[in-house]
């Protein structure tokens, strides 16, 4: 865990950020937090978007049609990236904390990245199926 300054100027933050220990676990820690905040923001948007269920079929289906356009597909893939990293790394954290995973946390991290990349690439093919394979 990095040292967190108590009421220090912005310049101190920059210095501390640059002095951060560049270990694979530190990066996983940062990525887990960024993806977690991203997913929480998405949860709010998701709730707001689906509240159209109460406005009737026409409005809901029109909204769902919008979500199948290319920009939304790209965002959906990005969401999948966040979900997969956060889920796989979350399992790693649980194994390290609750099991005996501290012994092999780096191997677990390699597993997180390899499986994560494979799944996210698989998602790319599934999401952009229509664009990739023209019929």
Is residue 32 within 8 Å of residue 89, measured between CB atoms? yes
State which of residues 12, 19, 50, 121 lies at the interface with another protein (CB under 8 A).
50
CB of 83 to another protein, least distance (A): 7
Contact between 36 and another protein by CB under 8 A: the answer reads yes
Of 50 and 110, the one with the shorter C-beta distance to another protein is: 50
- # chain residues binding another protein, by CB under 8 A: 37
Place of tokens 């199948």: 68
Q: Which sign does the torsion angle of CA 113, 119, 120, 122 carry?
A: positive
State which of residues 54, 69, 133, 134 lies at the interface with another protein (CB under 8 A).
54
Contact between 133 and another protein by CB under 8 A: the answer reads no
Q: 96: burial class by Cβ within 10 Å (0-12, 13-18, 19+)?
A: middle
Is residue 22 within 8 Å of residue 106, measured between CB atoms? no
Contact between 118 and another protein by CB under 8 A: the answer reads no
């Amino acid at each position: 865990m990095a040292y967190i300054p108590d009421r220090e100027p912005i310049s101190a933050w920059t210095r501390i950020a640059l002095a951060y220990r560049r270990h694979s676990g530190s990066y996983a820690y940062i990525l887990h937090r960024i993806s977690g905040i991203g997913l929480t923001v998405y949860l709010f948007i998701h709730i707001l978007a689906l509240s159209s269920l109460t406005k009737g079929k026409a409005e809901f289906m029109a909204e769902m049609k919008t979500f199948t356009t290319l920009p939304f597909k790209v965002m959906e893939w990005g969401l999948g990236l966040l979900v997969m990293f956060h889920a796989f790394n979350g399992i790693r954290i649980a194994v390290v904390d609750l099991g005996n995973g501290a012994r092999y946390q780096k191997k677990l991290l390699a597993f997180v990245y390899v499986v994560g990349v494979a799944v996210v690439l698989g998602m790319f093919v599934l999401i952009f199926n229509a664009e990739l394979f023209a019929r």
